[in-house]
Amino acid sequence: AQSVSQHNHHVILSEAASLELGCNYSYGGTVNLFWYVQYPGQHLQLLLKYFSGDPLVKGIKGFEAEFIKSKFSFNLRKPSVQWSDTAEYFCAVFLGQNFVFGPGTRLSVLP
């Protein structure tokens, strides 16, 4: 079945540690890929998106993601996390009329 999967359910890091959250999708052809973040008690916010071109995309708050077509992956990275990055992170594919989201990864950053 076509889906979006995220490798980690819960990631716990100390401040200044590097972050990589995995995302894989099973859709063929051209895909539009997104990462959203949901801070505690808040709505989902767009971190970054990939449509085409440079497979390394930069988003807000120092986040970036790399699209690797051969691996059907779109992993999210940040060189040095902060306590304020504690949130839920969702990878998603846009199918033209709606999104299909992954199950989310909870990131807890310890001060």
Partner 1 sequence: DTAVSQTPKYLVTQMGNDKSIKCEQNLGHDTMYWYKQDSKKFLKIMFSYNNKELIINETVPNRFSPKSPDKAHLNLHINSLELGDSAVYFCASSPGTGSYGYTFGSGTRLTVV
CB 20 within 8 A of CB 11: no
- Among the residue ranges 20-28, 41-49, 57-65, 77-85, the one whose residues contact partner 1 (CB under 8 A): 41-49
Q: Is 99 in the site for partner 1 (CB under 8 A)?
A: yes
DSSP E strands in the chain: the ranges are: 4-6, 10-14, 19-21, 23-25, 32-38, 44-50, 56-58, 64-68, 73-78, 87-94, 99-101, 105-110
Measured CA distances, 78 to 26, 94, 97, 110 (Å):
24, 23, 30, 15
Residues that bind partner 1 (rule: CB under 8 A) add up to a total of 21
CB of 79 to partner 1, least distance (A): 26
User: Contacting partner 1 (CB under 8 A), which of 30, 52, 70, 98?
Assistant: 98
Q: Is 46 in the site for partner 1 (CB under 8 A)?
A: yes
The interface with partner 1 within residues 10-39 (CB under 8 A) comprises 32, 34
State both tokens at 13. 């890091």
- Among the residue ranges 18-26, 61-69, 76-84, 96-104, the one whose residues contact partner 1 (CB under 8 A): 96-104
Closest alpha carbon to 10 in 93, 99, 86 = 86
Q: Which residues contact partner 1 by CB under 8 A?
A: 32, 34, 41-46, 49, 88, 90, 92, 94, 96-101, 103-104
